[in-house]
Amino acid sequence: MSSFPEEPLDPSAADGFGYLPADIAQPLDGGRYTIVRKLGWGPRSSTWLAQEKFIPDATKPVYWAIQAFTVAKSRDVEATLLPVLQKEVSQAGRDIDFPNFRGSFWEESVHGEHLCLVMSAYGLPFSELAWDAADSGRAGLPVHVVQKTTSVILETLEALHAENVMHAGVRLENLKFWPSTYENDLQNHLAESPPPKTQIINGIPAVRAQPLANYKVEWDEPMSDVSRWMLLLAGFGHARVPPCAPESGLDYSSAPETLLGNPTCGLSTDIWMLGCLVFQLLTGKPLFTSAGTPAERLAEIRNILQDKIPDTWLGDTNVQAFPNATTSTESLEHRLKQTLRETEASAAHSFLRKCLVFDPAGRASATELQVDGWVEEGAQCSCCYIDD
C-alpha cells in the first residue's frame, strides 16, 4: 500500500475503502460543480469545497461543501442517512442554518460510484481554541465560552429532536466556525490562500486538506465578543431516527444505554454526549476514560456519577457483571472543583447532572436545557454585555 499524506487512496471498496481520488479544478456532477479545495476527510468520506456553475441570477460565486463517501460506504449511507437528510433534517432546517442540505449526486471514479452530499461549507474547527488554551497553560476553556457553545449545540439539538432526529455526533471534532461570507470575503480568502500543490502518487492525485480560515477568534475573548461568535454543530453523518441500535464502532461517549447487553440509543443519547462534551470543554479532560469491558465502563460511570442503576436494567448481562463499587473514584463535582472556582463548579455541576443521568428517561430534554439558567447566560445577544 502506498503512503498517502491523508486518506488512503489506493485501497479499493473490496478493502473497505475506495475514497474519491479528486483533484483541484476537477468537475463534479457533469460539470455542475468545480472543486476549489479540499476541506477535510474522515473514516468514510472526504469533503471538498466546490463552486457551483451556471447560476443565472448569482451576483458572486456560489460555493458548497461536497461530502464524497467511499465506495464501500456509499450504498449504506444512501439507505440510512440520505432519507433522514432529505426529510427530517431538511424540515429541522427551518430553525437551523447547518447543514442546509441541498441534494445529492453520484460520482464515478476508478474505485466505483461515490454518493456525494451537497451542503453549506464550514470553516475552522473549534478544537483549535481548546488547543490554544492548553498551550497557554489553561485547563479547559473559560466558562462563558463553554456556556455560549452549549447554547449553540442545544439550538441544533432542539430543532433536530423536534423532528425525532438523533444527531449522534455531539463531539469536539464536530464543532466548527462558519467562514466569513460577507461581500467578497470568501473569494478574497480563496485568492490569497490558494490550495497546496497536488502530489501524484502512483498516478493518483493526493490533495491536502485546507479548511476555510477567514474567520478566527481567540479563546480568551470577553463575553461581549463571544456572544457574536459564528459557531455551528456539524457532523451529521450518523444522524438517525430512533428507535435504533447503536452503530458498530461508533463512539457515543460511553452513554450507558449503548453499553448494555441489549444496547439502544435515542434522542437522550445526544444529551448524554452533550454533558460529556461540556465537561471536557470546562476541564480539558474527558470525564470517562475506561477502555475496559462494557461492564467495567458502566461501573466507572456509576462510581463517578454516584447514580442508581435503573431497575429495568438489573437483569442485563453487562450490569450483572459489574465489579464491586468503589468509594475511591473522584465524583463529578470533585473533578469540576479541581479546575473551576467553587461557584463555577457548583453551577456547572447542576447543569451536568441534568444531562448525565444513568437512566435515559431521567435526562432533561434539549428544550428544557435551553431554558436552564446556566445555558441562558451564554445565549444572550451581544447587546447584553459591555466590554471591560
Domain ranges of the chain: 13-121, 127-180+213-378
Return the residue matching grid coordinates 450490569: 319
C-alpha cell, 93:
432546517
| Sign of the C-alpha dihedral computed for residues 290, 293, 296 and 301 taken in this order | positive
C-beta contacts of 47-54 below 8 A and 24+ residues apart: 48/22, 49/121, 49/212
Q: Is 270 left (phi over 0), alpha (psi -120 to 50) or beta?
A: alpha
CB 255 within 8 A of CB 287: no
The contacts of residue 140 (CB under 8 Å, 6+ apart) are: 130, 133, 146, 281, 282, 283, 284, 285, 339, 340
Q: Which residues of the chain have pLDDT under 50?
A: 1, 388
User: Cβ of 334: how many Cβ atoms within 10 Å?
Assistant: 12
**Tens of pLDDT along 71-97?**
999 999 999 999 999 999 999 998 999
**Tens of pLDDT along 220-267?**
999 999 999 999 999 999 999 998 899 998 989 999 999 999 999 999
Write down the pLDDT at residue 387. 53
Side-chain-facing half-sphere of 153: CA atoms under 13 Å: 31
CB 186 within 8 A of CB 108: no
Write down the pLDDT at residue 2. 60
**At 27, which amino acid appears?**
P
| CATH (residue range 127-180+213-378) | 1.10.510.10
The domain defined by 13-121 folds into: Phosphorylase Kinase; domain 1 (3.30.200)
Is the peptide bond preceding residue 5 cis, with omega within 30 degrees of 0? no
**At 373, which amino acid appears?**
G
SS3 175: strand
Give 224-275 as a DSSP string: HHHTT--EEE---TT-B-SSBPPPTT---TT-GGGSSSS--B-HHHHHHHHH
CB 134 within 8 A of CB 141: no
List the beta bridge partners of residue 67.
Answer: 47, 117
Model pTM score: 0.95
Write down the pLDDT at residue 76. 97
CB 261 within 8 A of CB 177: no
d(CA 74, CA 94): 27
